Amino acid sequence: MKKIDEARLESDVIYRVGYVGELMGFGESDVAALHAAASHLAPAVPALVEAVYVKLFAYDARRGQFRPRQSG
- pLDDT mean by block of 10 residues, the chain; 72 residues: 90 91 93 94 93 82 61 60
Residue 40 placed within a domain: yes
The answer to the question of residue 58 being in a domain is: yes
Decide if 1 is inside a domain. no
Supply the range of the domain harboring residue 58.
6-64
Residue 72, in any domain of the structure: no
53 found inside a domain: yes
| Number of domains the chain contains | 1
Angstrom CA distances, 58 to 10, 22, 42, 50, 62, stand at 22, 24, 25, 12, 8
What integer pLDDT is reported at residue 28 of this predicted model? 92
User: What global pTM score does this model have?
Assistant: 0.51
Residue 30 confidence (pLDDT): 94
The predicted pLDDT at position 35 comes to 94
